[in-house]
């Protein structure tokens, strides 16, 4: 009895539009007083979020993933 073989070959492609994009924006600033650095950072963050909302980003899609205040010493 001879053996039989079934051979299947193919090629496939799939193209879809992305449903998510990650954009990273960094705000930096230098202030002499810690409280002033926090105040300016909060104001800048609010202004940036407002701008993004005007450009039709959904509020629930705008996230802060890192916040850091460093002390620079001479």
Q: Is 40 exposed, middle or buried (0-12, 13-18, 19+ CB in 10 A)?
A: middle
Which one has a higher pLDDT value, 51 or 7? 51
Q: What is the pLDDT of residues 12-39, one digit of tens each?
A: 898 888 888 888 889 898 999 999 999 9
Length of the chain, in residues: 74
Q: Above pLDDT 90, what percent of the chain?
A: 36
- The per-residue pLDDT for 1 is 63
Decide if pLDDT at 74 tops 80.
no
């Amino acid at each position: 009895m001879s053996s039989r073989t079934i051979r299947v070959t193919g090629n496939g492609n799939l193209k879809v539009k992305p449903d998510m994009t990650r954009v990273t924006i960094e705000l930096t600033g230098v202030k002499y007083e810690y409280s002033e650095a926090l105040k300016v950072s909060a104001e800048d963050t609010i202004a940036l979020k407002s701008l993004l909302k005007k450009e039709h980003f959904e509020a629930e899609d705008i996230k802060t993933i890192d916040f850091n205040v460093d002390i620079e010493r001479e």
